[in-house]
Amino acid sequence: MNNIYYLWLIPFFPLVGFIINGLFGKKLPKPVIHWVANVAVWSSFTVAVIAFFDLLKVVPGQRILVDPVYRWIFTGGLAIDIKFLLDPLSAVMILVVTGVGALIHVYSIGYMHDDPSYYRYFAYLNLFIFSMSILVLASNIVLMFVGWEGVGLCSYLLIGFWFEDEEKAYAGRKAFITNRIGDFGFILGILLMLVIFKTLDFVEINKILIYHGETLSVTALTLIAIFLFIGATGKSAQIPLYVWLPDAMAGPTPVSALIHAATMVTAGVYMIGRLNLLYAHAPVAMAIVAAVAGATAFFAATMAITQNDIKKVLAYSTVSQLGYMFMAMGVGAFAAGIFHLMTHAFFKALLFLGSGSVIHAMSGIQDMRQMGGLKKYMPVTYWTFLTATLAISGIPPFAGFFSKDEIIWSSFASSRGGVVLWAIGVITAIITAFYMFRLVYMTFHGENRSPEEVKHHIHESPAVMTIPMVILAILSVIGGWVGVSPVIGKLFGVENSNIFEEFLHPVFAHAHIHFHHYSEATEWWFMAISVGGALLGILIAFYLYIKRTDLPRKIALKVWPLYKLLFNKYYVDEIYYYLFIHPIYLISLLFLWRFTDVYVIDGVGVNGSAKSVRFTSRILKYWQNGDAQVYIFSFVLGVVLVLGYLLLA
Amino acid sequence: MPYNGILIMAVILFIIGITGVMVRRNIFIMLMSIELILNAANLVFIAFARAFADPAGQVIALLSITLAAAEVGVGLGIFVAIRRTHNTVNVDEINLLKH
Amino acid sequence: MGWKGLPLISIVTFLPVIGALIVLFIDKNEGKLIKTTGIIVTSIDFLISLIFFFAFKAYSPDFQFVEKLPWIASWGVNYYVGIDGISLFLVLLTTFLTPITILSAWKAIEEKEKEFVIFMLLLETAMLGAFVALNLVLFYVFWELMLIPMYFIIGIWGGERRIYAAVKFFIYTAVGSLLMLIAILYIYYAHYKQFGFYSFDYEDLFRVVFTFKEQLLLFAAFGLAFAIKVPMFPFHTWLPDAHVEAPTAGSVILAGILLKMGTYGFLRFAMPLFPLATRAAAPYIMALAVVGIIYGALVAMVQKDVKKLIAYSSISHLGYVMLGLFAFNLQGIQGGLLQMINHGLSTGALFLLVGVIYERRHTRLISEFGGLAKVMPWYAAVFMIVTLSSIGLPGLNGFVGEFLVLVGAYKAAFAEYLKDLHVGHFTFVVLAATGMIWGAVYMLWMYQRVFFNKLTNPKNFKLPDLNLREAVIFVLLLIFIVWIGVYPNTFLSRTEASINKTINRVMISKEAYFNRGRAMNASTIRITEVERGLIVEKVPMGEGR
């Protein structure tokens, strides 16, 4: 393990940016604010790039660089350090986070320039980069949890950024609390980990698992893995805790792009990647991850079909794509999962930025039914958006194709996967292509359906917004070329075409997940099926939304109950409300407080004893009637009784 | 036991005294009854002082006689005052302790 | 004696009394001067008490800066004071919070200022005395002394039902203390019986050996007194009333320091004095603590009054403290102790924040507010940070305490599990960990209703933001909130030795406990720490890595 003493600069710069903007931003002019924030995050990105190249200089097998900053909690053998770790996995992740983060900081200059709380926005955004880089670079799970909760906080603050709108403030709170439910599992996982491994350091945990993995209780490891996964379902919006993510779209669109698409929500995937050895030792937990992921991918995709809000479609699409990533993790194709995480960060961030550009142009309208025909007004947005859509649909040679195909193939070929998962993957891919092109067609093609006063405002966004989009569009195309599967590589005569997986290999090498071997022909066939599926989805969308625009309505009417079910997102929010939220509130109010606290403990117990004292004294006071003769009589009576008792006994 | 008679006498005096305090309403009669009780006690003290040849009993008896005299002095003073202010010597009508 | 020959503890403890004497001679119409005097005296007191922090020997488990003078020597009553790792930070918290609370009352208390400042100063002396006292009579005197100024602070400057609240507070606490007094006397006589001389001194009373039955009764007597003060469910109902009725300054002191008396009492007296009973009672106390955590949080959730909400949240937080203390391992107790400090800072700050808005609007009903973040951004920001500290966000103080408590409880559960496959303790941990969900639920819901949403109530349109005086108060508090969150070792390193000593006393094995008695009965020689070390059992449970 070598040291890399400047890694702390990556979180440090955004922290400084946050402090400057947070404390003085109110009085600073806008250019200063966004310069401070942008310089901070671009510096971080630069440091990340330098660190990345420093990492490359190291022999592949020893690519673990650490930056111990100081000892945070130290009590009787429990030592938790503030220590940063750079290995291929965190290097990829930190590049994505700071890179995409930096682009979105630039984009935000344009998107937020009219907002009165400009300084607050950039302060939060910097705080987010700070927390996220802590999460990514953490060398132990508690420090990761610091980042984990920190990004949750930023998410809360940014979703509820326009807090005057009660719905938005509520969405922020919902996100935070749902995440906390997940974190509850996460912390239980940490605690169990501490007891089992006696350490919380990732490197040391991996060492223990490599050398003594067989001696540890599988049940305990499975429990740890499941607890941590509960945390991941919260942060990464998987069933059953995904409900916050669609509502999170209440935040400013660049925030949705950065936090709720590209980076924060992938933290759960990253966490499993970090602890891949642990998961590899807990097959049951992996199966659960794969099952939950498959279900999430599919159901979220179905929910995306019926949404009319452009950001909601993307939100459900994110949930669905995260399902893909977890599916990869669940079947042990860790590199594929991280690969999809990266490409998804590019094209999903781009999709959100594109939708932000559209919303910006449409003066805040998000309903796709009021859009249409925007292609001619905003060509840059349209072409970049289309690139990203092709990428997410898995059309070669766009980035999404390589990563998604690898996941779908792995879900079949892995010994932990199976044909069911593969089928879910393919069907979801069809649905994905369908709803994404539905979105494109409804937004950019056809007639413009927007209200008149909006219509003549429609314009292409300024360069400060389009340039980040173009950069992301380029990345959405070429980003996948670093992880070309060997069969395709061979076609172009390239050896070791999957340099991405090779780069990450040291991190995942010890997991030893077995993949069945199939002939190249099989692999080609499977590839053809998934690409064919995507094309089919596009065709259906084309037919329904370009050719026969009357059909969607008719179909919806025909399968009305199903449509309604999908449109209302399977009523999950309502079920949660009536099953958990409302009962807990009522029990707290009526039973715990009004009955137990006020009536039983305070009423009967405390004031009751006070009252009983008062009552007794009220009775006893009749004895004290002021008549001396009565006193004497009772006195004599007492003497006689005592004497009688003494004589008789 | 030659002192039995004296002791029985003391008991009778005590009972008369205590009954008087309990049943009579006239404040002066009650005071006199209290004196009877005290005298019953004095009698016992003196009897035992003689029986055990211990002068302590006589001392106590003398002490209590002086105390009784002082008490009667104070008590009568109060009663006269009550008689003047409340115009009654009936204890039932003097229940100031209650209020 | 003392520190470099100076009776430093006595100086710090009784300086406020001298301050009170000075205030006595100031004309009662000079309100500002009186308060300034109070603030200056308590600030000097705080500065002097910092010597404790810097001169404290972190490696030593023993009492430091000890002063011992005979008081009623023939009865074994001594003026015996000292500070160890357990009381160090509580003393500092007390000296730190008192000037802040007087400063916070600058505007809020404008009548009978003289009496107010005098009561605050006397209260500080009583609280400090209780934390440093090492003689049980001395402790009891200070313990009871605390009640009186507090009773008046609630009763004179409180809200509408102040008399009810003050009387309730007083009687509740007095009931518990009386039982404790009886228990103290019992220990005293037991000590006499076993050793032939009278002593109320802390270190002497440890040598007394009690049968298990005696321990249970004595523990119950001490425990009740402390449990009421903590307050543990179901002895908590005085707290919401006292908090709601008390003036801001009273609430801050009450939540910040007085509540710590209960948990401190457990840690200092009840647990080490009666180790066998403590261990036997632990599952029940942990269960009550967990009930408190969840119950307090859920009841806090449905409150309409911000202050009442915070009062109930205190019950939840103190549940964490109790859970940590009764885990009987280093992390648990350190977490509990740290959580005591954290609660003092965070909840103290929350009450001060509520006081700020109460001064401006004279109401604390949540429904009266909404959208305050618009008009009072700094206030909202401070409130947010304190809220986050209260719900245990990593990076701020609350997390470190909560995390260590959970680690401790978890280790304890695991030790129990290994011993007899008893899974009950795991339930405690899991339920306690849900506290982090409930905390977020009630605090953020309240925060949203007060600070977010639309600014609708016209009375709130022109509320002024924090002024300089208030800003100073909160900056001071925030410094420590962040400090403990970022670098808790300042705290942990200084408490470890003393806590280990306490753990050794609590975890002593039955044989060792009774043998100790036999050995000492044979020759009533005072055993030294070294000898005690020989019979001390190792703490079961592997510590850390």
Please indicate whether, in this complex, the C-beta atoms of B21 and A632 are within 8 angstroms of each other.
yes
* A179: closest chain C residue by CA: C437
- Orientation angle between helical segments C275-301 and C212-229, nearest 10 degrees: 30
* Positions in chain C whose pLDDT score sits under 50: 521-545
> CB-CB: which of A78, A79, A184 is closest to C407?
A78
A546 pLDDT above the threshold of 90: no
User: What is d(CA C232, CA C25) in angstroms, rounded to the nearest whole number?
Assistant: 42
Highest mean pLDDT among A22-26, A212-216, C38-42: C38-42
CA distances from A585 to A581, C325, C436 (A): 6, 30, 17
* A624: closest chain B residue by CA: B98
Q: Residue A82: its pLDDT value, please?
A: 92
What is the span of the domain harbouring residue A617? 597-648
Portion of chain C with pLDDT greater than 70, in percent = 93
Closest CA to A412 of A403, A402, A424: A424
Sequence ranges of the domains in chain B? 3-93
Instruction: Kindly report, residue by residue over A410-431, the tens digit of the pLDDT.
Output: 999 988 888 999 999 999 999 9
Q: Give domain status of residue A435, yes or no.
A: no
Q: Residue C181: its pLDDT value, please?
A: 93
Instruction: Kindly report, residue by residue over A489-517, the tens digit of the pLDDT.
Output: 888 877 777 888 889 988 888 888 888 88
Please indicate whether, in this complex, the C-beta atoms of C436 and A187 are within 8 angstroms of each other.
yes
For chain C, say whether A620 makes contact (Cβ under 8 Å).
no
CA A13 to chain centre: 24
> CB-CB: which of C237, C377, C454 is closest to A597?
C237
Q: Residue C517: its pLDDT value, please?
A: 61
Name chain C contacts of A11, Cβ cutoff 8 Å: none
Q: Rounded to 10 degrees, what is the CA torsion of A448, A454, A455, A456? A: -170
Q: Give domain status of residue A531, yes or no.
A: no
Interacting residues of C288 by C-beta distance below 8 A, sequence separation 6+? C227, C232, C233, C322
More confident position, A523 or C386: C386
Closest CA to A83 of A140, A124, A12: A140
Instruction: Kindly report, residue by residue over B16-42, the tens digit of the pLDDT.
Output: 999 998 888 888 888 899 999 999 999
Give A150 to chain C, closest Cα distance, Å: 7
Residue B96: which pLDDT band, with cuts at 50, 70 and 90? low
Which pair of structure tokens corresponds to residue A585? 């509130």
Interacting residues of B94 by C-beta distance below 8 A, sequence separation 6+? B27, B82, B86, B88
Please indicate whether, in this complex, the C-beta atoms of B92 and A627 are within 8 angstroms of each other.
yes
Mean pLDDT computed over every residue of chain A: 90
> CB-CB: which of C172, C433, C543 is closest to A187?
C433
Give me the residue label for tokens 């004292």: A613
> CB-CB: which of A625, A633, A636 is closest to B95?
A625
Average pLDDT over residues A383-397: 92
Q: Residue A315: its pLDDT value, please?
A: 93
Please indicate whether, in this complex, the C-beta atoms of B22 and A627 are within 8 angstroms of each other.
no
Give B95 to chain A, closest Cα distance, Å: 5
Name chain A contacts of B99, Cβ cutoff 8 Å: 626
Q: For residue C32, give the H/E element and its range.
A: helix C31-55
Name subunits touching C (3+ CB pairs < 8 A): A
Q: Give domain status of residue A508, yes or no.
A: no
Average pLDDT over residues A542-552: 86
Give B49 to chain A, closest Cα distance, Å: 24
Average pLDDT over residues A615-628: 81
> CB-CB: which of B22, B97, B99 is closest to A636?
B22
Q: Residue A133: its pLDDT value, please?
A: 94
Give B38 to chain A, closest Cα distance, Å: 15
Q: For residue B79, give the H/E element and its range.
A: helix B55-86
Interacting residues of A141 by C-beta distance below 8 A, sequence separation 6+? A190, A193, A200, A202
Which pair of structure tokens corresponds to residue A92? 């990829």
Contact C451, C310 (CB under 8 A): no
Please name the fold of domain B3-93.
Helix Hairpins (1.10.287)
* C408: closest chain A residue by CA: A191
The values of phi and psi at residue C84, to 5°, are -130, -170
Average pLDDT over residues A92-115: 93
Instruction: Kindly report, residue by residue over A311-345, the tens digit of the pLDDT.
Output: 999 999 999 999 999 999 999 999 999 999 999 99
Q: Give domain status of residue A337, yes or no.
A: no
Average pLDDT over residues A19-31: 91
Contact A232, A264 (CB under 8 A): no
Q: Give domain status of residue A604, yes or no.
A: yes
User: If DSSP codes are grouped into helix, strand and coil, which group holds residue A271?
Assistant: helix
Q: First-to-last CA distance in chain C?
A: 40
Contact C492, A78 (CB under 8 A): no
* B91: closest chain A residue by CA: A627
Give the lowest-confidence range in A6-20, A382-396, C349-363, C505-519: C505-519
Q: Please state whether at least 3 CB pairs lie below 8 Å between chains A and C.
A: yes
Domain count within chain A: 1
Q: Give domain status of residue A263, yes or no.
A: no
More confident position, A42 or C507: A42
Give the lowest-confidence range in A625-629, B93-97, C169-173: B93-97
Predicted-complex ipTM score = 0.92
